[in-house]
Structure 1
């Protein structure tokens, strides 16, 4: 039996690894003994782990020294010429822009592999000299990092595994990490990605060896497809305390804090939601309401911001715990799947919900405008569509964008009337973003773990 250490530092890690079925796939068959490391071992969402008798141990979030923090800020700049996120960040500062250009030139001279090796060696040396106590207290033949980035709270576990020579497998947990935060700079036996798009990013940006990339599928596809409640919209709305409506429009908010600008009391995205919904409400049939679904990073108090909208009802997913974002259990997965599947129309802002909606072949439109005039691009909601991950999705799948409130209203009414023509290139979307085998994601991870522990 092989010993596997698994880091679950964020609530999204728990979603993909436990809710999504990967834990079940690895724990069945008696081949692997798992030890889970997380911030709160007692959360109910890990009951499946406890029921099988595996250990769940706490770890202490990593705190950088000043020099480590500096190196981690510098590292992505090696790739700033290829990351739109960094180009926008550097744009209004001449020195930062020149620094990014210089670091990118240095990377082109050294090559991506040598650059990653250099960064990894520096970070490893800085960590080693601190002589921190070990936190991976149980035997491990393989360490699985579910959020292995240099700025993740589990960085201490990752650095320890690297220092002790424990082989590592990383599971990509977000589709934007490679093009906003960089690739893992420590040696790994492999990286599991969602799709062909992420595989191409690893090859093109970081020159990762092709045989070290495993395309396992979209880890949430099975949850979305299997967790839709067998109920009609009216009954579902009533189950969450919303009575008097037979249909609903879903407005899925992104992480609003990313649009918090100086001089504005609330995030610009929230101002947009208020303006769009205020314009949309009076035009809706009497049996239709708007369900505003907040992001898992949101605060329960944000609910009050939308109290002035009489036909809008706010849903806050998950619950607050020790994690950065709200923790979602199976019931929360059912709410997400059902809200997407039963909505008449879906409105969002550059969110992963776009992938979720298309998984269920639902019509979605993304808001590509600000309701506040003259917003600098670095605060604007529009900037997200220039980032590599969403720019590529738009180009590949031809997702519709709304350039005004009127276009959002028109889209919703077309959906309500059954007249909306999606125009999305579903074959291209499935080819690049949600492979047909996505429901088998847990088994693909299991096969990768088995191969890497049998070497």
Structure 2
């Protein structure tokens, strides 16, 4: 199993999927950020026996980098995913004109499809020739790619394909297919969250051979939300650990990556002002893995503020990460978030969601504004289902919080969106994933 990032680790290790896999198969982890000490902890925590294959992925050859950039342009031009349209607006006028000019020359018909197919085949062939020191000996039953849009994982899958090792891909997040370009490896099976992602995959890859089997599994971490749904006593205990009164309302603010929303401290200040106006209300700030506690130190002395740190993107999160996340979400009265997966997570736990759509104390153009993030392709279905209220000013934020804290309930639209976009599978998502792994390896 290839695990090359923090988010993949959470989805495949912390959800318990790795435990079920290791109970049935001999599992080797290929990773450049998971250490031998982490493997010892995982083995002890889940009572399993994983082994680590430490591997250095090396630098991508310049020719492959250029081919992937051209491929991404072709992909964007052909499929016109909304995410890429929005991201292009962030570029300079010169870059936008060059991209539009090339797009006009190539068009979006048969030539573009042929070029995309040709470039993808070239990338797969070239990446399969890259030497990979430290790869396991031949005889593997299969390779699982946990981030199949990562070029490093593609290179290893392609290298192993030359040894006839079958491959399975797990799409670990709702935005991957529409935001990260193309998967440059051929897999026998591809696991996705929902029918929306299945349709996206079929649309993007139907012209390429061979066509994998696409399987809908649900969201693995939602299994934890279902199993760990707390009672009143456990919620009180969680609040007590944070020195929060059992009767207090908690406004959970889940921060975003600073590069997406550099002005989010202004939102913290607005929420702090709101909490000070309202009796028995606490602001609980949950930091994004790429965010830094140093940005929020000045708020630690505030009586109405608590801060929860997350694990860094470059390290393996603590193995109780999802348990703590679940308790945090269930303990809050409302979740305020910035175009992140917390929009889905909070809704899955039955919590009202407020979507921040203003830029703090500044009025930024659309191409730089946080508003643009809600026009990314993966956000559009949730917008249509009205999952959460998009607030466009501080006053709208305050007014909607007043309304939410009075009603304390989700809308029917949110429940419908969860059924369609992030279904909770009968028997659990992890069990469903295992069923497809068994089928793949049979």
Q: Give your verdict on TM over 0.5.
A: yes
CA distance in 2, matches of 1:283, 1:125: 62
* 8 Å contact from structure 1 (residues 217, 438) kept in 2: no
CA distance in 1, matches of 2:234, 2:403: 20
- Counterpart in 2 of 1:270? 265
In structure 2, which of residues 308, 312, 333 is the aligned counterpart of residue 315 of structure 1?
308
- Counterpart in 2 of 1:239? 241
Residues 283-312 of structure 1: CA deviation (Å, up to 9, x unaligned): 221x22110111122234334254475422
**Structure 1's 175 and 362: CA in aligned 2 closer, same or farther, altered over 3 A?**
same
CA distance in 2, matches of 1:300, 1:157: 36
**Structure 1's 303 and 243: CA in aligned 2 closer, same or farther, altered over 3 A?**
farther
Compare 168-177 and 120-129 and name the one that shifted more. Answer: 120-129
In structure 2, which of residues 80, 85, 88 is the aligned counterpart of residue 87 of structure 1?
85
* 8 Å contact from structure 2 (residues 124, 184) kept in 1: no
* 8 Å contact from structure 1 (residues 13, 173) kept in 2: yes
**Structure 1's 393 and 100: CA in aligned 2 closer, same or farther, altered over 3 A?**
farther
* 8 Å contact from structure 1 (residues 292, 314) kept in 2: yes
CA distance in 2, matches of 1:119, 1:295: 36
**Structure 1's 389 and 338: CA in aligned 2 closer, same or farther, altered over 3 A?**
same
**Structure 1's 218 and 130: CA in aligned 2 closer, same or farther, altered over 3 A?**
closer
Structure 2 residue 408 is matched with structure 1 residue 412: no
* 8 Å contact from structure 1 (residues 37, 59) kept in 2: yes
Compare 382-391 and 221-230 and name the one that shifted more. Answer: 221-230
- TM-score relative to the length of structure 2: 0.87
**Structure 1's 299 and 23: CA in aligned 2 closer, same or farther, altered over 3 A?**
same
* 8 Å contact from structure 1 (residues 195, 434) kept in 2: yes
**Structure 1's 84 and 241: CA in aligned 2 closer, same or farther, altered over 3 A?**
same
- Counterpart in 2 of 1:3? none
Residues 291-347 of structure 1: CA deviation (Å, up to 9, x unaligned): 0111122234334254475422111023x4xxx345333422122111111211111
In structure 2, which of residues 272, 277, 281 is the aligned counterpart of residue 283 of structure 1?
277
**Structure 1's 158 and 45: CA in aligned 2 closer, same or farther, altered over 3 A?**
farther
* 8 Å contact from structure 2 (residues 2, 146) kept in 1: yes
* 8 Å contact from structure 1 (residues 221, 438) kept in 2: no
Compare 235-244 and 62-71 and name the one that shifted more. Answer: 235-244
* 8 Å contact from structure 2 (residues 343, 387) kept in 1: no
Paired residue secondary structure (2:200): helix
The offset of 1:238, in angstroms, is 2.5
User: Displaced runs of 4+ in structure 1, greater than 6 A?
Assistant: 208-211
* 8 Å contact from structure 1 (residues 11, 327) kept in 2: yes
**Structure 1's 46 and 300: CA in aligned 2 closer, same or farther, altered over 3 A?**
farther
- Counterpart in 2 of 1:255? 257
In structure 2, which of residues 12, 17, 28 is the aligned counterpart of residue 22 of structure 1?
17
* 8 Å contact from structure 1 (residues 83, 179) kept in 2: yes
The offset of 1:47, in angstroms, is 2.5
Q: Give the count of matched residue pairs.
A: 431
The offset of 1:19, in angstroms, is 1.6
Residues 261-283 of structure 1: CA deviation (Å, up to 9, x unaligned): xxxxxx22233333x22431222
Residues 125-161 of structure 1: CA deviation (Å, up to 9, x unaligned): 433554443523463121100011144x545423422
The offset of 1:83, in angstroms, is 2.1
The offset of 1:72, in angstroms, is 2.2
CA distance in 2, matches of 1:253, 1:326: 19
CA distance in 2, matches of 1:379, 1:215: 35
* 8 Å contact from structure 2 (residues 388, 414) kept in 1: no
**Structure 1's 242 and 421: CA in aligned 2 closer, same or farther, altered over 3 A?**
closer
- Counterpart in 2 of 1:443? 431
CA distance in 1, matches of 2:108, 2:122: 15
Compare 290-299 and 231-240 and name the one that shifted more. Answer: 231-240
The offset of 1:111, in angstroms, is 6.8
The offset of 1:387, in angstroms, is 0.6
Specify every segment of 5 or more residues in structure 1 that has no aligned partner in the other structure, as ranges.
1-5, 260-266
- Counterpart in 2 of 1:299? 292
Specify every segment of 5 or more residues in structure 2 that has no aligned partner in the other structure, as ranges.
none
CA RMSD of aligned residues (A): 2.9
The offset of 1:242, in angstroms, is 5.1
